[in-house]
């Protein structure tokens, strides 16, 4: 990444000297239909108003049996959690003294799989709303580019539109796309992101097909399985050789936990030792590759009864330089920066997770 050398040096300065104390790497703004329609050209505006969209939202499969899925205090008058910038600023940025916040508008998960030109128009409307209504109003904010992923040439165009705006810091992927995410179909998107120095950010959500043993029945199961969908995504990117093609590409895995990564890497290395000729392009241990390409966010972090075991599990990953605090505002399972990390997490690691690691990845501070 172009800005890495300089910011890596910044990250090595003692924490006390650093200005940035808190970066929130997962904030969900939510444009309403009335925000998007005026930002759509015809015929897409009429289509949006008359037919809506076809890909279901995750809560339609798995109703969130907890405060309807949102912080109870996050509903603005006449709006939706995340739709009102002033409320978001007050409840999150001000209340928790967030130095930088990375927005992840999730509409791209469903919009990105609509009919090609319609998908492109919808994603662009989201990006424009975020730019005008959020980024332009607060310089602490960064965002993730929504792209019509299932039509890669149009996704490439959308990335190119924003690549020159330093506030658009990454490209959004769902954890479930039409094909496994390592599929070559998506490589043009990844190449464009890598060349622009933008990480990919895979956020839980998107398509949820049969997955080998059928559907969970409950949100409880579906939510625990978020990690497993992300495991499948990471395994696919590695198995298909994405990183041999694009060694500079960085991928942030959001809202899927972290502690599974150690056991996943052990399993990958063990399998690789037995069947490396099946994946001949993998020229070194998968764990080595994994540690160089992936990042994590904290929310929802695992909570063992013994918090010391969480620290051990994070150390199993060998990736504590690649874990970033995330609140997941305004969802029901919002994590406060004061409470997320148990006391057992050593001070230095805590500072890296709360700010240093994100500063390095996104060139902040």
Partner 1 sequence: MKLEGAIDCDVHCAPASIDALLPYMDDYWRDYVANAGMTLSPTLTGTYPEAVSPASPSDVDALREQVLDPWGLQCAVLTCASAFDISRNAYYETALCKAINDWLRSEWLERDERLRASMVVPTLDPEAAITEIERVGGDPRFVSVLLPIRVDARWGTKRFHPLHEAIARHDLVLALHAWGRIGAAPTASGATHTYFEDYLANSQSIAQGQVMSLVAEGVFERVPDLRVVLLECGFAWLPPMLWRFDKDWKAVWREVPWLKAKPSEYVQRHFRFATTPAQLPSNRDRTAQLAAMLGAEELLVFASDHPHRHGDGNLEVLLDVLGDAGRDAVMRGNAEALYRLVG
Which is nearest to 161 in space by CA: 140, 174, 147, 177? 147
Q: Can you read off the two tokens belonging to residue 106?
A: 């999730």
Please state at what angle helix 44-51 crosses helix 116-133, rounded to 10 degrees: 90
Q: Of 52-60, 94-102, 122-130, 305-313, which part binds partner 1 (CB under 8 A)? A: 305-313
Q: Is 339 in the site for partner 1 (CB under 8 A)?
A: no
* CA pair distance 313, 3, nearest whole angstrom: 30
Nearest CA among 307, 113, 90 for reference residue 206: 113
Between 2 and 209, CB nearer to partner 1: 209
Q: Cβ neighbours of residue 79 under 8 Å, at least 6 residues apart?
A: 32
- How is residue 184 written in tokens? 């070559």
Question: Which range, of 20-28, 32-40, 221-229, 335-343, touches partner 1 by CB under 8 A?
Answer: 221-229
- Among the residue ranges 156-164, 242-250, 269-277, 336-344, the one whose residues contact partner 1 (CB under 8 A): 269-277
* Interactions with partner 1, residue window 35-74 (CB under 8 A): 64-66
Count of CB atoms within 10 A of residue 55's CB?
A: 15
Residue 20 or 271: the one with the smaller Cβ distance to partner 1 is 271
332 binds partner 1 (CB under 8 A): yes
> Is residue 344 within the footprint of partner 1 (CB under 8 A)?
no
Nearer to partner 1, 286 or 365 (CB): 286
Output 210 or 347, the one with its CB closest to partner 1.
210
Task: Kindly tell me which residue out of 133, 279, 285, 288 binds partner 1, with binding defined by CB under 8 A.
Answer: 279
Tell me how far the alpha carbon of residue 153 is from its chain's centroid.
22
Stretch that binds partner 1, among 21-29, 180-188, 245-253, 350-358 (CB under 8 A): 180-188
Integer Cα distance of 126 and 353 in angstroms: 29
Q: Is 91 helix (H, G, I), strand (E, B) or coil?
A: helix
Q: Report phi then psi at 75, rounded to 5.
A: -90, 115
Which positions touch partner 1 (CB under 8 A)?
Answer: 64-66, 175-183, 206-221, 223-225, 227-229, 231-232, 235-236, 239-240, 257, 259-260, 262-264, 266-275, 277-279, 300, 302-304, 309-310, 312-313, 316, 332-333
């Amino acid at each position: 990444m172009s800005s890495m050398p300089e910011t890596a040096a910044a990250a090595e300065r003692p924490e006390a000297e650093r200005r940035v104390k808190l970066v929130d790497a997962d904030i969900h703004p939510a444009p309403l239909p009335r925000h998007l329609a005026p930002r759509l050209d015809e015929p897409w505006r009429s289509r949006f108003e008359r037919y809506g969209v076809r890909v279901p939202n995750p809560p339609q499969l798995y109703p969130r049996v907890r405060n309807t899925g949102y912080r109870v205090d996050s509903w603005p008058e006449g709006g939706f959690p995340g739709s009102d910038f002033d409320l978001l600023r007050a409840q999150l940025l001000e209340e928790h003294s967030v130095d930088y916040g990375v927005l992840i508008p999730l509409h791209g998960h469903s919009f990105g799989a609509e009919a090609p030109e319609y998908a492109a128009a919808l994603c662009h409307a989201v990006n424009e709303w975020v730019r005008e209504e959020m980024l332009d109003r607060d310089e602490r904010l960064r965002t993730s580019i929504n792209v019509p992923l299932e039509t890669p040439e149009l996704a490439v165009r959308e990335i190119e539109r924003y690549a020159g705006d330093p506030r658009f810091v990454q490209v959004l992927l769902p954890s479930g796309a039409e094909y496994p995410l390592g599929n070559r179909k998506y490589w043009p998107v990844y190449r464009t992101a890598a060349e622009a120095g933008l990480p990919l950010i895979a956020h839980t959500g998107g398509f949820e097909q049969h997955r080998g043993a059928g559907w969970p029945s409950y949100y409880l199961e579906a939510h625990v399985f978020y990690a497993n969908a992300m495991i499948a995504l990471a395994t696919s990117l590695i198995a298909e050789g994405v990183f041999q093609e694009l060694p500079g590409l960085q991928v942030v895995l959001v809202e899927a936990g972290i502690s599974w990564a150690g056991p996943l890497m052990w399993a990958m290395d063990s399998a690789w030792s037995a069947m490396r000729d099946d994946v001949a392009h993998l020229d070194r241990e998968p764990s080595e590759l994994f540690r160089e390409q992936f990042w994590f966010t904290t929310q929802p972090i695992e909570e063992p009864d013994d918090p010391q075991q969480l620290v051990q599990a994070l150390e199993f990953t060998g990736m504590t330089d690649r874990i970033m605090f995330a609140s997941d505002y305004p969802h029901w399972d919002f994590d406060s920066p004061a409470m997320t990390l148990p006391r057992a997490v050593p001070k230095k690691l805590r500072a890296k997770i709360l700010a240093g690691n994100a500063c390095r990845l996104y060139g902040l501070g």
